[in-house]
Amino acid sequence: MPDSPLKDFPVVVSFPLHWGEMDAFGHANNTRTFTWFETARIHYFARIGLTGPSGAAGDRTNRDGVGPILKATNAEYLRPVLFPTRLVAGCRATRIGTSSITLEHAVAGEDDGVIYTRGSCTIVTLRYATHEKVPVPAEVRAAIEALEGRSLSS
């Protein structure tokens, strides 16, 4: 996707807008955006080794029992998504803190490149067995910077 507005996002997932995602106003329900962001985010986590490919059950943490937990998220709706269309959701890191990672999200039309929604989230690295916040593992930090092709340390 060299001409895509998401070309700088290292993880991009494509999918169709389903009819059931529409609301009474004739466009995609705003809550769907967070599902689209989450889908791209889980693919991102799998790429950096913060979760397994499914992001569920025993696959939700790395080998040390550390995994991601969503602390905060937001979305800015730029224009309504209308049926039928194919979409792409992108995810990229913008900051790595001591025990948190800031991610940026965007959703665009796969064919026309129109950006419909953008947002961000803060992820905290958590040891799930004890529910304690822990530092971002060094190997995860290195994997993020390798995937992004730049240093993101704060």
Q: Around 139, how many Cα atoms within 13 Å sit in the side-chain half-sphere?
A: 11
Fill in the DSSP letter of residue 58: G
The per-residue pLDDT for 54 is 52
The mean pLDDT of 19-38, rounded to a whole number, is: 95
118 C-beta neighbours (distance < 10 Å), count: 19
Q: Enumerate the β-bridge partners of residue 52.
A: none
Q: Give the pLDDT of residue 59.
A: 56
Q: Average pLDDT, stretch 86-102?
A: 97
3-state secondary structure (DSSP) of residue 151: coil
pLDDT of amino acid 1: 47
Instruction: Point out which residues pair with 117 in neighbouring strands.
Output: 77, 107
Specify the pTM.
0.91
In this predicted model, what pLDDT tens digit does every residue of 104-131 receive, in sequence order? Answer: 999 999 999 999 999 999 999 998 888 9
- Residue 61 pLDDT level (bands cut at 50, 70, 90): low
For residue 73, how far is the Cα from the chain centroid? Answer: 10
Quote the CA–CA distance of 16 and 81 in Å, as a whole number: 11
All structural domains of the chain, each given as residue ranges with its CATH number in brackets, are 11-148 (3.10.129.10)
Mean pLDDT, range 59-68, rounded to an integer: 72
Q: What is the pLDDT of residues 37-50, one digit of tens each?
A: 999 999 999 899 88
How far the first Cα of the chain sits from its last, in Å, is: 30
Evaluate if residue 2 carries a pLDDT over 70.
no
- The string over 25-64, giving b where at least 16 C-beta atoms fall within 10 Å of a residue's C-beta and e elsewhere, is eebbeeebbbebbbbbbbbbbbbbebbbeebeeeebbbee
